[in-house]
Amino acid sequence: MATAISMPRLGMTMEEGTIVDWPLEVGSRVEKGRLVLVIESEKNEVEIAASAEGFLRHVYVEAGETVPCGTLLGVITETMEEPFDVDAFQAAHDHPDARGGVALEVKVASAEAAKSAAGVRAGKPIAPAARAAARKSGIDPSDVPGTGPGGRVTKQDVEAYARARRALVPVAEGISLEIPTAGEGDPVVLIPGLGTDASAFTRQIPELAEHFRVLAVNLRGVGLSDAPEVDVYTVAQLAADVGASYEGRADLIGASLGAAVALELALTQPGRVRSLTLITPFVEASARLLAVCEGWRRVAMEATPETLAATLLPWFFSSDFLADERVRSRTLRGLAQMMSRVPATTLDRMIAGMSAWSGTRAGDLRTIPVPTLVIVAGADLLVPDGRSIAASIPDAESLMVDGAGHAVALEAADAVNEGIARHLDRRS
């Protein structure tokens, strides 16, 4: 005996549904009351349970396809050996716009779970085919950056995300980091600042990759890097992660909080560091910096990446830079993309770690044993004490970039790149 699985009509207004996933392979045993199908209808994802036992004999509609209610989706037979005509069964049981087959039982999720799922979907549209691919790969689709219209997550996005996850670099038990690489030669490790990712060095990577092997580290919780669920990401932990990401010695280039991480690594593992480049560094967070970080954290929890980027833009860049409307618009788009790759929870944990680290290393700067370049931005509103840091490190050099804001590596890339190139040449 064969039992039809058809697209059910789950509400008066439902006209069609999308197949999200067939959890079972054709030929698999089907148990009554167990999950056999997942569909999406009217923005809700619904699990369908079988009301008949047997075997999933045939699937007529694959995951990702959208069909009218009543469309024949699949069939359950009591055994795999009994005679079965695929085409004849479809002709007899495919009834678009009908109420659907009797082999279906809706598994209703709890109100809390449904609300949570709806919230995720509202925040990030996810294609049904992407949901199916994510389910098979064991991936939460809400974690996947979407490249479709309106940030929609596509099947291709999920597949690319899965490939990237396989390429992560293990740095501690249960923690792997996303570390894009480029070039060949001695390693140069780039460490981005608070709330940013490796794209903060997008204007340095091509030039450095001509002479070095560049490792651009996305710290824990950023991009595809693992995000352990703890209250604080300490600077010491971040430094240990970076140290575990490469072998031997490396030249470290850190910006803002990334400079703090580089300093910490140079102090705790001096034999692993060939040179330091500290871009807009601090050793004690000012009241203004902490206030901006608190506002940053709150906006990140409530607003879109675009709104967050617009809020931070005047703190990161100088007035002269922002006066050019085309430059401002382009920078805003790039900053919003960067913000979208740093969850608010990661930001919260990093700020807690930064606050705890603040003021703990000022007396240790004189012990730094490696060649150091400190890059100071003349119009930096957040960390204006770069020159005093340079004066505290033995034989450190200071490069002042007049008129540039805190994000000097993006705003004044030519000056920064020239300074880094000279520094790396001299340390050789």
How many domains is the chain partitioned into structurally?
3
CA distance 133 to 155: 6
Whether residue 84 is found in the same domain as residue 150: no
Domain that holds residue 67: 2-107
Last residue of a domain, one of 144, 166, 188: 166
Whether residue 233 is found in the same domain as residue 345: yes
Whether residue 95 is found in the same domain as residue 180: no
Last residue of a domain, one of 166, 184, 203: 166
CA distances from 196 to 19, 62, 200, 209, 360 (A): 37, 39, 7, 21, 23
Whether residue 154 is found in the same domain as residue 15: no
CA distance 186 to 181: 12
Whether residue 209 is found in the same domain as residue 81: no
Q: What value, to the nearest 5°, has the Cα angle with vertex 150 and ends 144 and 152? A: 35
pLDDT tens for the chain, 428 residues: list them. 899 999 988 776 678 888 888 988 999 999 998 889 988 876 567 888 888 999 999 999 998 888 999 999 999 999 999 999 999 999 999 988 755 444 455 544 433 333 333 333 345 678 777 888 888 888 888 888 777 766 778 888 898 888 888 889 999 999 999 999 999 999 999 999 999 999 999 999 999 999 999 999 999 999 999 999 999 999 999 999 999 999 999 999 999 999 999 999 999 999 999 999 999 999 999 999 999 999 999 999 999 999 999 999 999 999 999 999 999 999 999 999 899 889 999 999 999 999 999 999 999 999 999 999 999 999 999 998 899 999 999 999 999 999 999 999 999 999 999 999 999 999 76
Whether residue 194 is found in the same domain as residue 331: yes
Whether residue 133 is found in the same domain as residue 187: no
State the pLDDT at residue 300. 94
CA distance 137 to 139: 5
Whether residue 16 is found in the same domain as residue 155: no
State the pLDDT at residue 120. 38
Whether residue 381 is found in the same domain as residue 419: yes
85: CATH: 2.40.50.100
Whether residue 149 is found in the same domain as residue 185: no
DSSP 8-state symbol, 108: P
Whether residue 156 is found in the same domain as residue 75: no
| Contact between residue 237 and residue 221 where contact means Cβ atoms under 8 Å apart | no
**Burial zone of 401 (CB within 10 Å; 0-12 exposed, 13-18 middle, 19+ buried):** buried
Whether residue 221 is found in the same domain as residue 286: yes
The secondary element (H helix, E strand) that includes residue 112 is: helix 111-123
310: CATH: 3.40.50.1820
118: CATH: 4.10.320.10
Last residue of a domain, one of 107, 131, 147: 107
| HSE of 92, CA atoms in CB hemisphere, 13 A | 10
CA distances from 78 to 7, 49, 93, 264, 270 (A): 21, 16, 17, 66, 69
